[in-house]
Amino acid sequence: MSSPAYESPPSQNSLKSIKSPQTDLSSSTTVSFRSSLSPDSRRSSSGSKNDAHKWGHSGYLTPKETTALGKLRLHVSSLPQSYQSTVFTFKDAGEGEDDCLLRWLRARRFKVKDVEEMIESAHSLRQVKPPPPQTPASIVQKLNPQYYLGHTKSGNPIFISKPGKTDVYGLECCLNMEGVMGNHWEAMEEGFTQELLKSKNKHSAFDDYSCLCVLDLHGLNSSQLNKKMLRVVKEQASIDNLCYPETMNLMILLSPPPTFAIFYRLIRAFLPSRTVSKIELYANRSKGLKRLSELIDEEELSVEYGGTKEAENSDEERVIVERLRLGKGFVDLAVSQGESLTVKIYTKTQSTGVFVIKSTSSEGNEPLGTLEVTNDGNPDNDGVTDEVHIKHIEIDFGLTLKGPGTFRVEGKAGSSMFGAGHDFLIVGTITSTEELKKPSKPLVSPSSSPEIEIIKTSYGRDANLRDGTDGSKKKKRGNFFGRGGKKS
């Protein structure tokens, strides 16, 4: 993780003390944590004025910084290929070698020896990074809405995250901590890289390989601000600061609840001071939206924030994700004409659940299928099952559960009296078929008893179904409280 002692840029003006957000949140004013570095405090080697935001970039280097760049360039060129891959992470996105090296140098105040140690640590961490989780990205995206949409006036990708809409307990049904971290690694390696490549293609002069993060905290409640979330944020920040230095251009925090002040103070404690200086917090949402309009052209700004850019959606497949607590309610999955449905169930609990799926349009409402779901993994130190097993119903959509119709999934506790009250994740994947082009009628009817195929399969850690093995398309993943989601 980048050390705060190294992160602040050298300047004649030190960072001002950061205001506590406690008072500002209660008074609904704007809080800016950006540095007050004076543009006149430093000059580039050419003698032109250098504003703080351009510190350490090409064209704004002092002779001493230019010398440091040459030393690091020589050092990295002598390293094995695996080390060079650690450094030049976004080479495939068109980032120049010097621009990349300058990111690493800025993270360590141009102290070459410290950068060399940082590269060694980053290389070691990459050797033990967990594999991507094999829970489909579409499920994670529903439980934790975050995505890339648009670019700033400077060409930086815009990453939008909505923690207030995150279902933490639902995520725990299909991801453990290793899966969360594997998800984050993949998001940075693939999702963020693809967005940077788009930036380079749209703006040939683009050389600032960083993004604008919009953290929309509307709807966030105290139950979501727990120790597990803090652990996730801390570990993801550690990965980013060490392996992807200087990739956050600016973060805008919108509509934080009063309780967020305490949580933010905890987060700020392990963030580098240079990172903290790039955070702007707007308790007044209108002021925050005005700030976004200053940074982003209308056609690149999401309609949700006052722009005209619409999210891209695919009509080929839609996923319905609902968390069901045994003994409390049911999940209805509506399927239109020309569509078909498959259902899977995820859980972390070791309690047994018995699930039935019915058609609400059938006389007698007889079950179409029954499935007993049992997770026999061993709980970890957090009391969360380390190995998340999936026992799922997979219905042949070419023969059964065709729309139009509504299918109901109900669950009850198994033989154990302790089953009630535990969470199970119901995932319905609805796919458009060629039948959409011609009239069709529901396969499920009072006079028919459709054949169904029930597949009970147990998979290893984090539902390790590789993308594609369950018929899903490979998509860019969204992080669990982190950066690098799929484009929505």
Q: What is the CATH number of the domain that holds 296?
A: 3.40.525.10
- Structurally, the chain folds into a number of domains equal to 2
Asked whether residue 122 is domain-assigned, the answer is yes
Token pair, residue 73, equals: 């360039």
Q: Based on the fold, state whether residues 198 and 339 are members of the same structural domain.
A: no
Q: Label each residue of the chain as H, E or C.
A: CCCHHHHCCCCCCCCCCCCCHHHHHHCCCEEECCCCCCHHHCECCCCCECCHHHCCCCCCCCHHHHHHHHHHHHHHHCCCHHHHHHHCCCHHHCCCHHHHHHHHHHHCCCCHHHHHHHHHHHHHHHHCCCCCCCCCHHHHHHHCCEEEEEECCCCCEEEEECHHHCCHHHHHHHCCHHHHHHHHHHHHHHHHHHHHHHHHHHCCCCCCCCEEEEEECCCCCHHHCCHHHHHHHHHHHHHHHHHCCCCEEEEEEECCCCCHHHHHHHHHCCCCHHHHCCEEEECCHHHHHHHHHHHCCHHHCEHHHCCCECCCCCCCEEEEEEEEECCECEEEEEECCCEEEEEEEECCCCCCEEEEEEECCCHHHCEEEEEEECCCCCECCCCCECCCCECCCCCCCCCCCECCEEEEEEEEECCCCCCCCCEEEEEEEEEECHHHHCCCCCCCCCCCCCCCCCCCCCCCCCCCCCCCCCCCCCCCCCCCCCCCCCCC
Asked whether residue 480 is domain-assigned, the answer is no
Asked whether residue 82 is domain-assigned, the answer is yes
Asked whether residue 301 is domain-assigned, the answer is yes
Q: What is the pLDDT of residue 416?
A: 52
Q: Based on the fold, state whether residues 70 and 132 are members of the same structural domain.
A: yes
Asked whether residue 479 is domain-assigned, the answer is no
Cis bond upstream, residue 132 (ω within 30): no
Asked whether residue 449 is domain-assigned, the answer is no
How does pLDDT run along the chain (488 residues), one tens digit per residue?
333 333 334 433 332 322 333 334 433 444 443 332 223 333 333 334 345 678 999 999 999 999 999 999 999 999 999 999 999 999 999 999 999 999 999 999 999 999 999 999 999 999 999 998 878 888 988 988 888 999 999 999 999 999 888 888 888 888 888 888 988 999 899 999 999 999 999 888 898 999 999 999 998 887 777 787 778 888 888 999 999 999 999 999 999 998 888 888 888 887 888 888 999 999 999 999 999 999 999 999 999 999 999 987 655 678 899 998 877 779 999 998 888 888 888 887 777 778 888 888 776 667 777 777 766 654 444 434 344 444 333 333 333 588 888 999 888 876 554 444 578 888 898 888 754 444 443 333 222 333 323 333 322 223 333 233 333 333 444 454 455 554 44
Q: Based on the fold, state whether residues 47 and 97 are members of the same structural domain.
A: yes
Q: Based on the fold, state whether residues 297 and 352 are members of the same structural domain.
A: no
Q: Based on the fold, state whether residues 145 and 289 are members of the same structural domain.
A: yes
Q: What is the pLDDT of residue 366?
A: 74
Handedness of CA 322, 327, 332, 333 (dihedral sign): positive
Asked whether residue 329 is domain-assigned, the answer is yes
Rg (CA), the chain: 25
pTM comes to 0.73
Q: Based on the fold, state whether residues 187 and 332 are members of the same structural domain.
A: no
Domain final position from 421, 437, 453: 437
Q: Based on the fold, state whether residues 284 and 189 are members of the same structural domain.
A: yes
Torsion angles phi and psi, residue 419, rounded to 5: -70, -35
Q: Based on the fold, state whether residues 188 and 328 are members of the same structural domain.
A: no
User: Is 188 in contact with 483 (CB distance < 8 Å)?
Assistant: yes
Of the CA atoms within 13 Å of residue 362, those in its CB half-sphere come to 20
**Domain CATH for 340:** 2.60.120.340
Domain final position from 313, 332, 365: 313
Angle (nearest 5°) at CA 27 between 24 and 28: 80
Q: Based on the fold, state whether residues 158 and 261 are members of the same structural domain.
A: yes
Q: Based on the fold, state whether residues 289 and 411 are members of the same structural domain.
A: no
Asked whether residue 483 is domain-assigned, the answer is no
Q: Based on the fold, state whether residues 309 and 321 are members of the same structural domain.
A: no
Domain that holds residue 14: 1-313
Q: What is the pLDDT of residue 80?
A: 98
Q: Based on the fold, state whether residues 351 and 236 are members of the same structural domain.
A: no
